[in-house]
Chains A and B, each alone.
Chain A
């Protein structure tokens, strides 16, 4: 059965179409979800990049209280796979589905580059098709991607193998411990600043290293359904 993967559109989302396209290219069925919707008839959810609500107040702070997020929080607690990309990662942190916060880049400029990453954990539903230690290249574009958390939280993330991706060669935004992405205790919620949905076709990306996100979750869903 084809997995139904929801992609949420908030006012100000930009990469919802690319995320849906990546889902389709990877063989699943993308389902558009409007932020004001209060029902989720999907197997997994992606919160895409962009500037939800114009980044007013703080990135993700207002989107976090949209009706659809109430459902996402409820389903995530039951184990539904949730992926937050860039602004989506910020929304997940604001919703406390992931710890820490994203603040302004230490260099104070918007950064757009093909970013090398190391896959640190394959123990999540979104990364199980990678190998630990894989070096991948994924598009990165953000102004507020500087991951920060208190020392105890960082120690727990590191100790519990919940840092999923780390920046290699260059730390583009000042994130603590070069952290590019993290997961929750259960491994079903993943957030990262780089954009795997932009790296799914040779024509338009520096690599196709992002496809693994969208195939991983399908393999996970197939295994849990059968």
Chain B
């Protein structure tokens, strides 16, 4: 079964409080020089082949529900 990955990230200009918290925690643990932004990863099992039409469907799904494009961007790719 094919798998499609959708990555959703807060847009660069949007504050990412979770990423900031993780960045601070890493610094306190001694991992210096790391700036984290935190997003979401969706793993989608697809029945049948991942055709260009199927990918378009998933892009529409991402835009409709998985991401809020006011504050987030998303990326859709097939996992090899």
| Interface, chain A (partner B; CB < 8 A) | 57-58, 61-62, 65, 93-94, 99-101, 103-108, 146, 148-150, 174
The secondary structure that dominates the A interface is: loop
Partner of A65, one of B10, B18, B65: B65
Tell me whether A105 and B70 are in contact (CB under 8 A). Answer: no
Partner of A148, one of B15, B18, B20, B65: B15
- With both chains docked as a complex, state the minimum distance between the C-beta of B35 and any C-beta of chain A, in angstroms: 16
Q: Which residues of chain B come closer than 8 Å to A146, judged between CB atoms?
A: 15, 17
- With both chains docked as a complex, state the minimum distance between the C-beta of A185 and any C-beta of chain B, in angstroms: 17
Q: A105-B17, A146-B17 are known contacts; what are 8 more A-B pairs with Cβ within 8 Å? A: A101-B68, A101-B70, A103-B15, A103-B17, A104-B18, A106-B17, A148-B71, A149-B70
- With both chains docked as a complex, state the minimum distance between the C-beta of B40 and any C-beta of chain A, in angstroms: 8
Interface residues of B in 1-28 (CB under 8 A from A): 10, 13-15, 17-18, 20-21
Count, A-B residue pairs, CB within 8 A = 39
A101 CA / B66 CA spacing, docked (Å):
15
Q: Which residues of chain B come closer than 8 Å to A61, judged between CB atoms?
A: 65, 68
Q: Which residues of chain A come closer than 8 Å to B68, judged between CB atoms?
A: 58, 61, 94, 101
Tell me whether A174 and B15 are in contact (CB under 8 A). Answer: yes
- With both chains docked as a complex, state the minimum distance between the C-beta of A10 and any C-beta of chain B, in angstroms: 16
A94 CA / B14 CA spacing, docked (Å):
16
Tell me whether B65 and A57 are in contact (CB under 8 A). Answer: yes
Q: A93-B70, A101-B71, A149-B70 are in contact. Are A106 and B15 (CB under 8 A)?
A: yes
Tell me whether B17 and A104 are in contact (CB under 8 A). Answer: yes
- Residue picked from A61, A65, A100, A148, most chain B C-beta under 10 Å: A148
A174 CA / B21 CA spacing, docked (Å):
15
A104 CA / B45 CA spacing, docked (Å):
30
Q: Which residues of chain A come closer than 8 Å to B20, judged between CB atoms?
A: 108
- With both chains docked as a complex, state the minimum distance between the C-beta of A24 and any C-beta of chain B, in angstroms: 35
Select from chain A the residue with minimum beta-carbon distance to B20: A108
Closest 6 CB pairs of A and B: A104-B17, A101-B70, A101-B71, A108-B17, A108-B21, A101-B68
A174 CA / B20 CA spacing, docked (Å):
14
Q: Which residues of chain A come closer than 8 Å to B17, judged between CB atoms?
A: 103-108, 146
- With both chains docked as a complex, state the minimum distance between the C-beta of B50 and any C-beta of chain A, in angstroms: 23
Contact with A along B40-54 (1 / 0, CB 8 A): 000000000000000
